[in-house]
Amino acid sequence: MNDIERTHETKLNGLRGKKQRRAPQRQILDPVTNRPRQIVDPVTNLPQEMGDPVTNLSEYNLTDSEHDALVNGLNHVYPPEKLDQPQFVCNMEYFYARLLNVRTAYRRYEQKPSAEAVRHQLTSVQLSTASELRETSNSFRKVAQSELKKIGAEHRKTFNTLRSLAKNKSIIITRPDKGRGVVIMNRADYVQKMNAILDDRSAFTLINYDPTLDTETELTKFLLVLKKEGFISDQEHKLASPSGSRPARIYGVPKLHKKRENYPLRPVMSATKTVAYGLGKMLANRLNTLRASPYMIKDRFDFVRKIRKLELGDKKMISFDVTSLFTKVPLTYTIDMILDKIYPMCSSICKYKQRSRLCAKCRNRSDFQHLLRLATSKTHFIFDKKMYVQHNGVAMGAPLAPIIADIFMSHLEESVMDHLKQIGVCEWYRYVDDTFVLVEPTTKVENVLEILNNFHPSITFTHQLEINGSLSFLDVWVTRSPETKKFQTAVYRKDTFTGLMIKWNSFVPASYKKGTIVTMIHRALATCSTYTSLATEFENIRQIGLHNGYPLSFLDTRIGIGLIIKAYETKLNQTTHSVPMLVFPEGLPPAIIPDPNQST
């Protein structure tokens, strides 16, 4: 191909890409297979097609235009139809002033006296440059305004389609429980499933009044008393004091990975601006030390670091999960256990119930118990124009929910761990309600489940056994190495993974798009223990990026930069005699990872 053909081909590709970015698409297909792009599982080596991000569980039939309007996800940002000209002029003036290092005597323009004139001594060259910059800015402003009008006209049909879907009262449009996507449900089915959850009288109570103002007044007065007595600090009082409160809202997100159970809902509470929202934050700060446990992991990276150090490849892998931990956690039991640890009862139990006649220990215990009750069992919310109170368990979305759940699980581990070790449990790693366990090959999983499920009647554990020497935990594949007794790790994605992320044509800052890819690369470098799994994951990242309209050159550049940074960190780790995160098989030349001293 000569230079002229190459030039025309580049221009045509640019025009095609420009048209592709403007037009709404159902999916960006693989140009070779004309099918949705695929990723490869690093353990099973089976291809996994990135499915449609729009899941329709309703009886409503989506048209092609409605599907195209939803396929970009619920977080997609369309460009505006008009250019913000005053902001553009201010940005250009600020840019030139910083370029010349010109600063005013006042931090804000409103602080300047109206009679004072602003004078800047600029040279003739600076004035000439300012004039050229103004002309260039005006040209850009005209072109940008024209382009935004064209783009706005193209997206106006999409906006009208989304408005019509929002006005359709027979359906609910929401997000899935895990991953990104769009789920459409019949409103009647959605309300029925939520009512089935809220009809559980062991956790929820239906009330016929709004207690927001009464609870806010009670909490405000009580916090003022505690502040005067020195039980809470001024900063804690400011954080916990409610103002302009409203009832919480509860909604459900469908669990698409549980098709056999007819897609149950996970209840999530929007607790912002509720009476106890600030109180929950204040109490979370005080209770944070109680959630610590030697068996708890911080995140996936902490789990990977710990599992790679083990040489227990001959043990059996099992994962345990607590069914609906947040709504089933025994609240009264957990609160009493927290009080016993922080404010134990006095040796001679006070006979009086009046607060003023209690001793200092019993008063502190009673006050803290009242705060915990206000932040948990007196939480009220609205669903379907009905008011409820959750008197047991904690709601996902409340500030105290993960703290209470972790404290209960830590207490469970502390109570049963000795018994579990006696029957063959070797290692125990927990993240909230998910647990990865290594047991002796002769240990029966039924015996472990019996101990766990007998701890408290409200809690039920389920389990999953390893398959062909591999088990998924969080988003990590754990595989027993055939050569050694160590474990290999790789990135795991569920079967419901759609590949949806921030689109390349989404009108968001470029740093958001770069951060999305960089995060995936960082996860791959930290999780993949072999070069083979790392190469597979890098190709998966490319396919996911291309699936969302990202240029291949951008993806390769970010992968290259990530490798250079990783090589530099590995070199530093080797000089300090620490174990590198990435293990390469024998015979592979180390030149595969670029030298940090070389340019890309």
Is the pLDDT at 430 greater than 80, yes or no? yes
pLDDT tens for 500-520 read 999 999 999 999 999 999 999
pLDDT tens for 109-122 read 667 777 777 666 77
pLDDT tens for 451-477 read 999 999 999 999 999 999 999 999 999
Q: What number is the average pLDDT over the span 100-112?
A: 71
Q: Which pLDDT band, with edges at 50, 70 and 90, does 100 fall under? A: confident
Q: What number is the average pLDDT over the span 57-61?
A: 92
pLDDT tens for 208-264 read 999 999 999 999 999 999 999 999 999 999 999 999 999 999 999 999 888 888 899
Is the pLDDT at 493 greater than 60, yes or no? yes
| Strand locations in 122-203 (E) | 171-174, 182-186
Residues 402 and 431: their CA atoms lie apart, in Å, by: 11
The domain limits of the chain are: 75-104+123-166, 189-290+328-394, 501-573
Query: How big is the chain, counted in residues?
Result: 600
Is the pLDDT at 71 greater than 80, yes or no? yes
384: left (phi over 0), alpha (psi -120 to 50) or beta: left
Secondary structure (DSSP) of 482-550: SSSSSEEEEE---TT-------TTSSS-HHHHHHHHHHHHHHHHHH--SHHHHHHHHHHHHHHHHHTT-
Residues 169 and 186: their CA atoms lie apart, in Å, by: 9
Q: Which pLDDT band, with edges at 50, 70 and 90, does 362 fall under? A: confident
Residues 445 and 442: their CA atoms lie apart, in Å, by: 9
| 3-state class (DSSP) for residue 317 | strand
Q: Specify whether the CB–CB gap between 310 and 486 falls below 8 A.
A: yes
Is residue 480 within a helix (H) or strand (E), and if so which, with residue range? strand 476-480
Is the pLDDT at 269 greater than 80, yes or no? yes
pLDDT of the residue at 588? 38
Q: Which pLDDT band, with edges at 50, 70 and 90, does 478 fall under? A: very high
